[in-house]
Structure 1
Amino acid sequence: MKIIFLVSSMGSGGAERVAATLANAWTERGDDVTLIATFSSRGPCFYSLSDKVRFIHLADIVSRQGRGPLQYLARIKRLRSLIRHSDADVVVSFLTNVNAMAIIASFGLKVPVVVCEHNTPSADGRSMLWKLVCRFLYPKASLLTVLTEGIAASFKKMVPAAKHIAVVPNPLPDELFSNSYPPADRGSRKRIVSVGRLNRQKQFDVLINAFATLAPRIEDVDLWIWGEGDQRAALEAQVLRLGMTDRIFLPGNTPTPWSEMARARAFAVSSRFEGLPMALMESMALGVPCVSFDCPSGPRELTQDGRDGLLVAPGDADALSDAMSRLLLDDALCEEIGRRAAISIRERYGLHAVLPKWDQIFSHVEKI
């Protein structure tokens, strides 16, 4: 099968991790995959791609075609040409801005287009303009995929004319389960770890405040927040203001996130909203006990209504602090939550469970 796969970039985000996982899995089983980064210029791919994946940076091809709207139109024109001459069986697109470009560029070419949304429009703060764009364009796609039933319900309201909406969760790569990662030394300081972009969505300022509340009571634990983003300066100032520079660390991106997660006593999620958070899923797969705000959507689905992790009310820093304290102080609770989470995540989100869902989608769109 010939697949054109569109993403905005191949940086360090969760959507990019999923794109790499799917592209590699499809090529390894014999599919022909062309991965196109539509908005970022050429640079290193944060996640490893198989040599069998053809990787194109659309921005480099049209870099001299003016700026602003002119360059956007040039990218659509070039993408349309790539699709027309590819003899592709399907176009798969990730995230809203790329989805819009994919639908416009493929209009009239008779190539099925599957667009994928990773967040819920009722919570992610998208503008009215983008809601209207989705409402108008998404019915022209062959199929829309979302990560959870809750996200599906939101899109059914926002895009009532959408032809088909399917729930397909993100997969985890086989190497996450096949590799071994050494846990933290028993004699070392405990770590609470979080991973994500340093932006408003992730609400790391609340996590920092929650940790600062428990820190005087539990002295042998530190907080490590891995990632980069536009709130770095504000978060660093907050840590300094709290006098926590020797307990709270923001070391940036890491090429070995699974190793850092495996060393953690607990993994924490403080987001305003999510889709199906990859970092939380990965940490649970590694058997790391987690605590998360019960935000829309993802943490409740991943933890099976709080059975495989601790859920607390969204935005409640005191409840988050108390839940982290429970995990730090109760060895038996940590061991049991981590064990259940690892088994459940492997069964529900391994490639063996998710790839057949994509095969069903490809079979469906071929018949439309």
Structure 2
Amino acid sequence: MVNTGPIAFYVPSLTVGGAERVTVSVANGLAKRGYEVDLVVSFNSGAFREEVAEEVTIVDLGTTKIPVLGIGASVPCLSRYLSARSPAILFSQMTYANDIYLVSQLVARSDTVSIGTIHNTLGMQEEPKEKFVQLLQRLLAGQADQFVAVSEGVAESVVEHVGIDREKVTVLHNPIPVRDVQQQARESVDHRWLDSPEHEVILGVGRLERAKNFSSFLRAFAQLHSNRPQTRAIVVGKGSKRSELEALAVELGIEDIVSFPGFVDNPYGYMGSASVLAMSSIHEGLPTVLIEALACGCQVVATDCPSGPAEILNNGEYGRLTPVGDDAALADAIEATLESPLSGERLIKRANDFAPDAVIDEYETFIHQYVKPATREPDETGAESPVAF
């Protein structure tokens, strides 16, 4: 075992989400390389619970669910964990979890190296609660030793909105399990259009929420379909905007050529068979859906939103970029991609830059900048019996 002392990650729960997936992947990767890893959760539930490696110790804070306070109720338990366990370094995940952790560290007077991880571009939030969380992050920023941003664009937003120097922000990309994605992409999925050689399927994948801007996707598809009647659209995902999007499809007269299958267990099967994946987002952090599509050899078109698409696609080298909200430009880019697709092998090669081994190498280098070898023997770990505080 690597004798650094405990490496900890704090995430509110293990429900399905991009940050949660990344956290589990990084924790598993470090544990498999011999590090002593704690995965600290406020609520020990969610689909990703089953994906945690047996080498990782799950620390269940057993937070009481209190209306309004939310994970703020975790502060006493998280403080006790810090005092009792004294992890060498802790990565908290997402802005609101960063705030809760930094408050807990103040209460515990812990000397754990504190790393706040930012997964989305700051400054794009509109809800009062989100703005308050971001303000609190700014007030607590001095308590953190370093921030990790998942892309260069996110790093720039952290500097601007948290008010810290660029030297205090490190970019560490999200690991994408490229081989697993490719394996699942080869599995068949039950959708009539994907099995039909006469159709060109334009795929959208993501939460059906405002930030993903699927209304622009539908308007762009309607324009595309007028030129290419063989096209069909599939929008995979669930969210509060579904009924609104279905109504828009009716308004555009495309309800019979657009499918909303909702959440699916294997979106990669869709990516492996689609002609183009189109991303219409207003803002992102590091949109893993683009990397996953590249891993499947699927052609990609994306809005040049903050942040991540231009970084992933290398300013258009691996997929066309369009202005946010420009439906006509998105339609034209999809059509141009259908006419002149890139080599699938080239897309897959790009996806490998984000494969787990490469990213875990970056995390190891980062950790070793802050953590000195522990003087005590590490405790035995294992996720079979979650630890409670």
TM-score normalised by structure 1 residue count: 0.89
8 Å CA contact retained: 1:12, 1:47: no
Correspondence for 1:358: 363
Offset from partner CA, 1:285-311 (integer Å, 9 cap, x none): 221110011111111111111011011
Matched, 1:306 2:311: no
Offset from partner CA, 1:141-189 (integer Å, 9 cap, x none): 1110112223222222333346721111111125336637339657252
Sort the Cα spacing of 1:358 and 1:323 in 2 relative to 1 into closer, same or farther, 3 A.
Answer: same
How many angstroms apart in 2 are the aligned matches of 1:197 and 1:56? 29
**What is the 5 A alignment of 1:171-210?**
171-176=175-180, 179=183, 181-182=185-186, 185=195, 187=197, 189-210=199-220
Sort the Cα spacing of 1:220 and 1:146 in 2 relative to 1 into closer, same or farther, 3 A.
Answer: same
Matched, 1:257 2:264: no
Identify which of 49, 53, 63 aligns with 2:52. Answer: 49
8 Å CA contact retained: 1:13, 1:196: no
**What is the 5 A alignment of 1:141-152?**
141-152=144-155
8 Å CA contact retained: 2:185, 2:271: no
Correspondence for 2:378: none
How many angstroms apart in 1 are the aligned matches of 2:294 and 2:50? 20
How many angstroms apart in 2 are the aligned matches of 1:306 and 1:223? 23
Correspondence for 1:37: 41
Higher relative contact order (CA 8 A, sep 6+): 2
Sort the Cα spacing of 1:48 and 1:188 in 2 relative to 1 into closer, same or farther, 3 A.
Answer: farther
Shift of 1:49: 2.5
How many angstroms apart in 2 are the aligned matches of 1:42 and 1:11? 7
8 Å CA contact retained: 1:193, 1:225: yes
**What is the 5 A alignment of 1:86-235?**
86-107=85-106, 108-125=109-126, 127-161=130-164, 164-176=168-180, 179=183, 181-182=185-186, 185=195, 187=197, 189-235=199-245
Sort the Cα spacing of 1:46 and 1:311 in 2 relative to 1 into closer, same or farther, 3 A.
Answer: farther
Correspondence for 1:18: 22
Correspondence for 2:341: 334
Sort the Cα spacing of 1:251 and 1:322 in 2 relative to 1 into closer, same or farther, 3 A.
Answer: same
Aligned length: 357
Matched, 1:280 2:287: no
Q: Which moved further from structure 2: 115-124 or 306-315? A: 115-124
Offset from partner CA, 1:325-360 (integer Å, 9 cap, x none): 2223x2xx2143x332221221x2122221122112
Shift of 1:244: 2.3
How many angstroms apart in 2 are the aligned matches of 1:250 and 1:47? 28
Offset from partner CA, 1:83-106 (integer Å, 9 cap, x none): 322242211111100010111112
Offset from partner CA, 1:210-256 (integer Å, 9 cap, x none): 11112233222211111111111211221233332321112111221
Identify which of 27, 48, 72 aligns with 2:31. Answer: 27
Letter in structure 2 aligned against 1:154? S
Sort the Cα spacing of 1:90 and 1:188 in 2 relative to 1 into closer, same or farther, 3 A.
Answer: farther
Correspondence for 1:7: 11
How many angstroms apart in 1 are the aligned matches of 2:207 and 2:41? 19
Unaligned 5+ segments in structure 2 are 189-193, 373-389
8 Å CA contact retained: 2:178, 2:351: no
Unaligned 5+ segments in structure 1 are none
Identify which of 340, 345, 356 aligns with 2:351. Answer: 345
8 Å CA contact retained: 2:120, 2:154: yes
Letter in structure 1 aligned against 2:272? A
Correspondence for 1:82: 81
8 Å CA contact retained: 1:293, 1:312: yes
Sort the Cα spacing of 1:31 and 1:121 in 2 relative to 1 into closer, same or farther, 3 A.
Answer: same
Sort the Cα spacing of 1:43 and 1:305 in 2 relative to 1 into closer, same or farther, 3 A.
Answer: closer
3-state DSSP of counterpart to 1:334: coil
How many angstroms apart in 2 are the aligned matches of 1:254 and 1:31? 34
3-state DSSP of counterpart to 2:123: coil
3-state DSSP of counterpart to 2:285: coil
8 Å CA contact retained: 2:302, 2:309: yes
How many angstroms apart in 2 are the aligned matches of 1:207 and 1:13? 22
| Sequence identity percentage | 28
How many angstroms apart in 2 are the aligned matches of 1:161 and 1:181? 41
3-state DSSP of counterpart to 2:197: coil
Sort the Cα spacing of 1:82 and 1:93 in 2 relative to 1 into closer, same or farther, 3 A.
Answer: same
8 Å CA contact retained: 2:118, 2:147: yes
Sort the Cα spacing of 1:175 and 1:362 in 2 relative to 1 into closer, same or farther, 3 A.
Answer: same
Shift of 1:277: 0.2
